[in-house]
């Protein structure tokens, strides 16, 4: 008989969608910022233009999606991201790399200094676990920005 799941395990299951043998988790190979943006758009609805949300896409060594997690939801001008939580989910999913994703409800496609500092902080933290931050995607209603392609990572 298997142990009864705890409240915490239910919470993790709600936050983190992971590919399992019998799941219909969408396995997608991510080879470009367009692939990343298209995959991430499924997490947003009308809220893309209402408030900032921060998501993670976890990849295996073949750059295939293995999990995703919503880390935070904030207000119209920002959201709080805890690097400890990012590391926890990266380790839990056994990811080789992570794509950071958040939206700018304002439609501004420029990465802020705060976006760049957060990216560096998460990159440094994940390095300890041999997990690479592949990109940080900023979404707007009609477009996206790749911080890797922008040269700000």
User: Could you give the CA distance from residue 150 to residue 139 in angstroms, rounded to a whole number?
Assistant: 14
Domain interval for residue 134: 20-150
Q: How many domains does the chain have?
A: 1
**What is the pTM for the complete model shown?**
0.85
- Residue 15 inside a domain? The answer is no
Q: Name the DSSP class of 45.
A: S
- Residue 92 inside a domain? The answer is yes
SS3 148: helix
Q: What is the pLDDT of residue 22?
A: 52
Q: What is the pLDDT of residue 104?
A: 96
> CB neighbours of 115 closer than 8 A, spacing ≥ 6?
102, 136, 138, 147, 152
Q: Take residue 146 and report the two structure tokens written for it.
A: 């790749």
Closest Cα partner for 58 from 103, 119, 16, 21? Answer: 16
Average pLDDT across each block of 10 residues of the chain; the chain has 153 residues. List them in order: 44 48 75 96 91 96 94 91 95 96 95 96 98 98 96 92
The beta strand positions in 45-141, using DSSP E, are: 53-59, 65-73, 97-103, 132-139
Domain CATH number, residue 34: 3.40.140.10
- Largest Cα–Cα distance of the chain, in whole Å? 53
């Amino acid at each position: 008989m298997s142990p009864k799941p705890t409240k915490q395990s239910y919470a993790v299951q709600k936050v983190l969608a992971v590919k399992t043998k019998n799941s219909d988790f969408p396995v997608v190979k991510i080879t470009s910022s367009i692939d990343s943006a298209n995959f991430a758009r499924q997490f947003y609805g009308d809220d893309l233009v209402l408030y900032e949300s921060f998501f993670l896409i976890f990849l295996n060594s073949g750059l295939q999606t293995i999990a995703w997690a919503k880390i935070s939801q904030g207000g119209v001008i920002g959201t709080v991201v805890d690097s400890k939580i990012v590391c926890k989910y990266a380790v839990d999913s056994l990811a080789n790399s992570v794509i950071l994703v958040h939206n700018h409800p304002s439609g501004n496609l420029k990465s802020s200094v705060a976006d760049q500092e957060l990216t560096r902080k998460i990159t440094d933290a994940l390095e300890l676990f041999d997990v690479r931050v592949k990109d940080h995607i900023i979404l707007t209603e009609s477009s996206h920005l790749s911080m890797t392609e922008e040269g700000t990572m």
